[in-house]
Structure 1
Amino acid sequence: MTRYVAFLRGVNVGGVNLKMAEVARVFEDAGFTNVVTVLASGNVLLDAGTSAATVRNQAEAALRDAFGYEAWVLVYALDTVRAIDAAYPFEREVDGHHSYVTFVTDAAVLDELAALPPTAEERIARGDGVLYWQVPRAATLASTLGRTMGKKRYKSSSTTRNLRTLGKVLSR
């Protein structure tokens, strides 16, 4: 069994409102064990005896069937998420700024996003399958990465979590 983190994209924003207790039940019904949700933003810890790709496919199908929305889920081994979090290259807590990790499963999309020129106030660094990102609090949606990430092309293969959320996921 492997402990995985499943990050649901676009949950409890933009009209997709899911109760985490119901999400946990759907994951359990799909055959996953030791299911725990963290916060209301679509973070699920679970155990499975299959690959991350299989977990992703099963989770997306289960969510689509249960809730009737176009579900996108990015799945990583818990140890991988720990390593990604530990590798954050910027100062973790900067007053007036958000510190994020954008998880990206498509190499071409990661290349595109990593090539974006940051605004003067944001910092972007490429990691292993992720972008590390720091941006002023009031500028997240207006920043280069913030504007780009909202486009449909990126939704199925990327999702962003702030470091505080990752900390809560990793402390479970």
Structure 2
Amino acid sequence: MGSYAVFLRGINVGGINIKMADLREALKDCGFADAKTLLASGNVVLSSGLDAAAVKRECEKCLRAAFGYEAWVVVMDAGRIAGLVDACPYPGDNKSTHTYITLSSDTAVLDELEAAGAALEGHDQERLGPEALAWLAPAGGTLESPFSKISAKSKFKAATTTRNLRTLIKVRDAAAALAAS
């Protein structure tokens, strides 16, 4: 039985509103009995006998059926989330800068996003592995940052999602607690 982190893309923004209690219940109804949500932005930890690719397929199918929207998720092994947090070279948030990690279920899509970010003048980013890219944004200006605008393009939606480093630390800790139980 593996422990996984599931990251939903694009909920509670743009008209797709899902209460975390409803999300948790839908996942439980689809066979993920110990699904636990964190924060209100579509972060879930759960355990399953399926591999990560199968968890992704089942979660997307479940969300589409339960909530009627084109659901996309990125699923990662709990241990990998811990490794990404540890590998991030950037500090936790400070008064001027926030650290983000873009996660992807498709290496080629993340390669394209990384190349687009590398072309931006003054943009700090570092590839953490085939599925993750860490980057910095000015505090209070994340959504307006050039990289954020690129990563929001529709061609990246189905395969990527971005989380603040603080959020990934909370997900890492919750996934570790789930694995230990």
- TM interval, shorter chain, is over 0.9
Q: Is 1:29 the equivalent of 2:24?
A: no
Amino acid at match of 1:29: D
Q: Percent of aligned positions with the same letter in both sequences? A: 43
Instruction: Name the SS for the 2:15 alignment partner.
Output: coil
Equivalent in 163, 168, 171 of residue 170 of structure 2: 168
Task: Flag structure 2 segments of 5+ consecutive residues without an equivalent.
Answer: 175-181
Moved over 3 A (4+): none
Q: 1:5, CA displacement in angstroms?
A: 0.5
Count of residue pairs brought into register by the alignment: 171
Contact kept, 8 Å, 1:119 with 1:144, in 2: the verdict is no
Cross-structure match for 1:148? 150
Q: Deviations over 1:101-147 (max 9, x none)?
A: 00012122111111122342x31111211110111023322323211
Contact kept, 8 Å, 1:27 with 1:59, in 2: the verdict is yes
Counterparts of 2:32 and 2:156, CA distance in 1: 27
Higher relative contact order (CA 8 A, sep 6+): 2
Counterparts of 2:37 and 2:91, CA distance in 1: 28
Alignment of structure 1 residues 1-172 onto 2, 5 Å: 1-116=1-116, 117-120=119-122, 122-128=123-129, 129-172=131-174
Contact kept, 8 Å, 1:52 with 1:76, in 2: the verdict is yes
Counterparts of 1:52 and 1:106, CA distance in 2: 13
Amino acid at match of 1:160: T
Q: 1:171, CA displacement in angstroms?
A: 2.3
Counterparts of 1:30 and 1:49, CA distance in 2: 13
Amino acid at match of 1:2: G
Instruction: Name the SS for the 1:85 alignment partner.
Output: helix
Q: 1:92, CA displacement in angstroms?
A: 2.6
Counterparts of 2:105 and 2:7, CA distance in 1: 12
Amino acid at match of 1:82: A
Q: 1:45, CA displacement in angstroms?
A: 0.6
Task: Flag structure 1 segments of 5+ consecutive residues without an equivalent.
Answer: none
Counterparts of 1:151 and 1:93, CA distance in 2: 25
Cross-structure match for 2:177? none
